[in-house]
Structure 1
Amino acid sequence: MAIEERFGKVATTEDTHEVSETGAFVRQDNHFVTPFGEGEGELPVEAGRYRLIWTPLCPWATRQVIALKLLGLEDAISVGKVSPVRTENGWEFSLDEGGVDPVLKIRYLPEIYAATDPEYEGRATVPTVVDLKTRKVVNNDYHRLTNYWETAWKPFHKPGVPDLYPEDLRTEIDELNVILFHEVNNGVYKAGFAQSQKEYEAAYDVLFQRLDWLEERLSKGRYLFGDRLTDSDIRLYVTLARFDVAYYFSHKTNRNRIADFDNLWNYAKDLYTIPAFKEATDFDSIKRGYLLGSHGHNPYNILPLGPDVSIWDEPNNRDEKFGKRI
């Protein structure tokens, strides 16, 4: 039996339920939002109990992997990876032997969503956290998931890891993260998936106004909060890493490349020198995911040869401007 018959055809970002009457892209809400913690009804923090599903295509998923690597949680959280090219049947474990996740024993991510909640009608999204004891999806809330790794999972942090969500900055980080989501992270999708010229242009203008603002902010400090690497830097980085290789073309966000900004570009290259960021950044997967398959509107599946991503390894000027990294 075809997966569409068993679980329903997976929605794409261009389906009408994610587009307003004016043609604006309106991203679906996250469905599984139970937090990790020690309170009643919260997800218990137990090493080895959960599996995080991601793809290097997705910015929301990639920031989870960056956080896990920075915090030393890779031994506590199991990680599975789906192909960056999303099929009509949803995210597929085609990178694994036999095309099946070795732990969950499924071929397509929607299978575990259907097993968790047969009434669920939205897209099966990444990141997805699955409870291996119950074999159910327990969280796909990319808005807060890195914050849980940074706080609730502290007992499993390795010694000497950065405090990515310090208590004295949490209010400011949360406020900035809301701006980053609406105007930058999701801003590129508001432009790229708009179905009217008016909504596209509105999203385009907001995006580049905010990038100009961030360019100025990053002229005053190495990171978004001075010399302190935080959760906000992870969130901004994942969009910057996808911008020139994909969004500039695929999402029609083509006023400037990130490489045309002095501070944003050197900031992004500086973060890329940190192993957690570099190891989670797969430029080939990013290009394939956005330009091939159901994402790409590319009927002949022609993969562009450029741009040259070796420039990410070129020196940056952040030490010169702000001193050696702490």
Structure 2
Amino acid sequence: MNFLSQCTSGGCGAKIGPNELAEFLKSLPKFSDEKLLVGFDASDDAAVYQLSEELALISTIDFFSPMVEDPRTFGRIAAANAMSDVYAMGGKVLFALNLVCFPEKMDKRKLSEILIGGAEKLEEANASLAGGHSIYDHEPKYGLAVTGQVDPRKIIHNNTPKIGDVLILTKALGVGLVQSAVRGGLACKEAKAAAIASMERLNKYAAEKMGKFPVHACTDVTGFGLLVHALEMAGENATLVIDAAQLPLLPQAYYYAEEFLATAAGQRNRQFMKSKVDLSAVSPAYQEILFDPQTSGGLLISVKAEKALECLETIQKDDPVAAIIGEVCEKESSQSIILV
């Protein structure tokens, strides 16, 4: 039984679209205690629960079906992706629980490889594997329920940028486009290898470095693509100006966008943003890149302008593709994002 061919969609491209998700969530009752500092109503990256004046727990969960053929590579990508929310909020990963769905008739050695890959990334993160849960399913799926810690006075939210901040993106875009090309047998070896290396890369290193600078907001760019995550960051009080020409791109990603190798998730992101952003300043190919779902994408960081270049250069020591892609400006009419 072929591992990847069993899946109708994979990675963060399998996420429910932002429009549909908002409809589901708005009818949920809201009840919690005052120690829940961040809940689902905030559209932030993870939940945060305060234990003391100096300690809060970060809780997040993420899983999906494969987007690569090799099971161990899939395990590493899924684990890196699941831990990313903790890093985006300025936290440290403590431990995680495995989440496994696996076809009963599929070779169990592939499941073993998935779990080994995930464990390798937890070890790299200096985090513990504490258990998990597994069921039989028609498609393989894997991920983690992750617990981290953070000083509640130092939580980095996704929607609190300050006017004048500079925006840094730590990973190259185009994962969904490259994986679409892989599925179609069109991807070159360089593009495929670069996409896998990017997806496997922990955001731990960029997060540790950004912690030394005046960062006012941060989020990880995943299945909703850069523009939807940027919209969440802008919030009600700011406009993010993004220079498409400065976006770091995976090899051949722009070419694949020109060849219309778009994903269904990318089109869901476009539908969500159609009345929220003016796309006339960028080419159709750049539009696809801006909407492209990123599996285990990078951090979008809003940092004080005076320290932005130093912050970028520090991050680039281990993540050389990181780039300044825009700035935070005062709210301009109803526009939360301006593309140039």
TM-score above 0.5:
no
TM-score by length of 1: 0.32
Q: Greater strand share, 1 or 2?
A: 2
| Greater fraction helix | 1
- Which has the higher relative contact order, 1 or 2, with Cα contacts under 8 A spaced 6 or more apart? 2
TM-score normalised per structure 2 = 0.31
